[in-house]
A = this chain, B = another copy of it.
Amino acid sequence: MQRMLSVLVDDKPGVLSRIGGLFYRRGYNITSLTVGQTEIPGKSRFTVTFEGDEAIAEQIRKQAQKLINVIKISEHTVKNSEIREYALIKVGFTEENKTEVYHLVDFYKAKIIDILDGAAIIEITEEEGRIDKLIERLSHYQILELVRTGKVAMFRGKKTIK
């Protein structure tokens, strides 16, 4: 089962290495990670996704809470949170496929942000697996490159991770 943690940390060198090390030592592979600034100056937020059951998630929460510069850890689920991911997909863009690519982009509420020298860059925001579905459809043409941000999540309502 895919699990997702938000980790509020002090924005200090070494935090990344320590959090990475915690997963590594226990043999848990991170499937996606984002690290960015928050509404609080000097604090960053890690969003980590990984495969694991409740026992593994509990262990990671407990261990991570002990790390230097880690302030707070919260777990997100589809029930309590809005979960999103953003991706850029580059496809070969030709006279032959362009009508179909435009059609797919429309259908998946994606957007073409650049077209140059026979390649188009498409952006899409995830909602309910739409990135995977668009990638699958586009793979019939030529996917030159794909970059995904990794997931971010936010509790609904006034509840925050602080």
A contact residues vs B (CB 8 Å cutoff): 6, 11-14, 16-21, 23-24, 27-39, 45, 47, 82, 84-88, 90, 92, 113-114, 116-119, 121, 123, 125, 135, 143-150, 152-154, 156-158, 160-162
Contacts and interface: CB of A to CB of B under 8 A. Distances in A.
A74 to B, nearest CB: 11
A54 B45 CA distance: 28
B150 A84 contact: no
* This chain's copy number in the assembly: 2
Contact of A119 (B113, B125, B158): B158
Given A16-B20, A35-B33, A123-B125, A149 B147 contact: no
Given A34-B34, A143-B39, A152-B147, A29 B11 contact: yes
